[in-house]
Amino acid sequence: MAYDNHNAAYDLSLFDEELTYSSAAPKRNQEESSERKARKKQKNKVVSLPENELNKIRRRKHNPFKIAVGTLSAAIVTFVIGVIIVGQVQLTELNQEIITAQSTLADTESIYTQNQMKVEANLSNAEIEKYAVETLGMTKASGAQKEFVAIEEGDKAEVSASDNGNIFTRFFESIFNLWS
């Protein structure tokens, strides 16, 4: 690519002031030196400010509204995080109580099963007979102690009449049956 005098991207004289082109025309060197002098003049245009104005510029200006919004949002975030932590603590405590209650329930069910088996073992027919004979002094019934009952009247069957009467008829019949 050829060297273009007007293209600033390829102008190496901006970086090196002593760069000279031996093969370049003297006219071009003069133009470049005049451009360098113009740039040097522009670079030396520094504005100086008094010290108190520099301090004012350097100080950061705080916006009270932004400070209030930031403080409020920080408080809200802290509150939400606190609520979450308290909720987790309560959840952990309740889970621990549930685990304790479940273990107590399992122990109680085990004791209940053991007691139920003991009661069933004590209520067997052999145990009842043993208790009756030893503690209560009872004996088995003999043939002499047995009484037989005979019914001589025979079997009876009653037929109930269909009751199609109204309430007043039933009322009078119930009173009539009381007197008879």
Spatial distance between the Cα atoms of 158 and 93, rounded to a whole number of angstroms: 72
Say whether pLDDT at 88 is over 90.
Answer: yes
Q: Report H helices in 60-160.
A: 64-122, 125-134
pLDDT of residue 20: 46
Residue 120, CB half-sphere, CA atoms under 13 Å: how many?
Answer: 6
Tens of pLDDT, residues 2-34: 555 555 556 666 555 544 444 444 555 566 666
Rg (CA), the chain: 59
Tens of pLDDT, residues 93-135: 999 999 999 999 999 999 999 999 988 877 778 878 888 888 8
Tens of pLDDT, residues 145-163: 777 777 777 667 676 666 5
Q: Confirm if 163 and 171 have CB atoms less than 8 A apart.
A: no
The better pLDDT of the pair 2, 141 is held by 141
Spatial distance between the Cα atoms of 175 and 180, rounded to a whole number of angstroms: 9
Tens of pLDDT, residues 28-48: 556 666 676 666 655 556 667
pLDDT of residue 15: 59
pLDDT of residue 24: 47
Q: Which two tokens stand for residue 162?
A: 């269909």
The better pLDDT of the pair 77, 58 is held by 77
Cβ neighbours for 135, distance < 8 A, ≥ 6 positions apart:
none
Distance of CA 148 to the CA centre of its chain: 76
Spatial distance between the Cα atoms of 26 and 52, rounded to a whole number of angstroms: 51
pLDDT of residue 1: 47
pLDDT of residue 97: 97
How much is the average pLDDT of 138-150? 77
How much is the average pLDDT of 55-82? 89
Phi, psi (degrees; rounded to nearest 5) at 134: -80, -45
